[in-house]
Amino acid sequence: MFIRILNFETDGNRKTELLTVMDTMIPFIKSQKGCTDCLFIMNDDNRYALLAFWDSKENADGAAGIIGPKMLPSLNKISKEPINPVLYKVYQQEV
């Protein structure tokens, strides 16, 4: 399993604008091949993260070329710094 994480912070209260982007993008992300879940998390300090769960690196990388151009321009307009998505491999101990 792989998780692509986008961590970012906004200036001021941009929550309404941000939730509009997420309401559009989360279903789109979940519809991509190999996506098993997608979660958006937030705290009270205008810090946010989007986590997309993937069944393989290949599917995660393939979707990045579709999702990124559609989502990152909108998020970069409201984030303090340019967003750099990072893909993590999930460690699962063998039993």
pLDDT tens-digit map of 67-90: 999 999 999 999 999 999 999 999
- Decide if 28 is inside a domain: yes
pTM above 0.75, yes or no: yes
DSSP state of 10: B
Question: pLDDT band at residue 13, thresholds of 50, 70 and 90?
Answer: confident
Q: Is residue 95 part of a domain?
A: no
The answer to the question of residue 26 being in a domain is: yes
Measuring CA to CA, which residue among 51, 37, 38 is closest to residue 7? Answer: 51
For residue range 37-72, list pLDDT tens digits in order. Answer: 999 999 988 999 999 999 999 999 999 999 999 999
Which residues contact residue 69 at a Cβ distance below 8 angstroms, ignoring those fewer than 6 apart?
none
Please tell me the total count of domains within the chain.
1
Residue 40: domain span: 2-89
Structural domain includes residue 94: no
State which amino acid sits at residue 61: D
CATH, residue 29: 3.30.70.100
